[in-house]
Amino acid sequence: MPIIESTYKAPFLFKSGFIATVYSGLFRRVNGVVQERERITLSDGDFLDLDWSYSKAKTNKLIVLLHGLEGDAQRPYMIGAAKLFNKNGIDALSVNFRGCSGDDNLKYRSYHSGATEDLEDIIQHIISVKNYSEIYFHGISLGANMILKYLGERDNVPSEIKAAVAVSVPCDLNGSSMQLHKVGNRPYSIWFLFYLKNRLKAKIEKFPGSLSQEQLKSIKTLKDFDNIYTAKAHGYRDALDYYKQCSSLQFIPNIKIPTLIINALNDSFLSPECYPVKEAKNQPNIFLEMPNHGGHVAFIDKKNVYYNERRAVEFVQDLN
């Protein structure tokens, strides 16, 4: 489809991608959403915690929300989207990836950008147990990459899945990794690495012999983490192999349902390859919107409703 001309206008104070990203990550608060937790067993015997919130009226429509790196279902960008969809008559399922719900998962493996086998289990659970005839996806960053990969790596998706919205997507994981290692993104990479290494320390205690203390100490960057843990724990040769196999860019041409991608042009996490202009122009199901501002998941708008949340609801409603 033609590239969508964005109508998003960032408030003056938040035209800086850095300021908008930091504010959204540290200071935004969303209240008024009541969630009910459900724990499901995955195909490999591990578990996932799913947090449900509901519209006032009974509905056959569901939005499945996937969070970003080191996020969870209670992050403001998850709660904000769930709240707006609930207000518009759509139930919301906010997914906590493995180990992200407050309880460590059972396996040595965890979650990663391409873990679509877990998303497959979630969808099969919804279809077999719940009564939704229309299912939509809304993914943020890592979760958005997972959604695009899921939709494009298979010839057919369940007929109940009608549309998807992917926000701040690192479509090219290697390019995004290189961006995060740049000096300007050092505050972010330090923050991510701190929490990832703490999680890995707990894994090592739970699984003695899985990694040596020397290997743990050698992790100085996010790429080191992906080399030493992410790749090896999930069946990839190394970080580059993981990035290559799990980048969603290669799967976009095969997506068969309407999909909106919103990537801000001032998102410092994204490399030029993360803006799939060529793919969108040649793919009738892809709608690519590239606002000038918005940072990384920081599309600040009026009344504490973010632009990407409002656009997601509009995109879904316009299909009907």
Classify the C-alpha dihedral 254-126-99-185 as positive or negative. positive
Of 118, 176, 296, 301, which residue is the catalytic one?
Answer: 296
Active-site residue, from 267, 271, 293, 301:
267
8 A C-beta contact, residue 55 and residue 39:
no
Look up 267 and say whether it is catalytic: yes
CB neighbour class for 11 (10 Å; exposed up to 12, middle 13-18, buried from 19): exposed
168 is catalytic: no
Q: Which of 269, 272, 288, 250 is nearest to 165 (CA)?
A: 288
Catalytic residue among 141, 247, 248, 271: 141
Compute the distance between CA of residue 260 and CA of residue 166 in angstroms, rounded to an integer: 6
Tokens 């040596």 belong to 212
3-state secondary structure of 23: helix
**C-alpha to C-alpha distance for 108 and 105, rounded to whole angstroms:** 8
Measured CA to CA, the distance from residue 144 to residue 167 in angstroms comes to 6
Please measure the distance between the N-terminal and C-terminal CA atoms of the chain and give it in whole angstroms: 19
Q: Is 141 labeled as catalytic in the residue annotation?
A: yes
Catalytic residues: 141, 267, 296
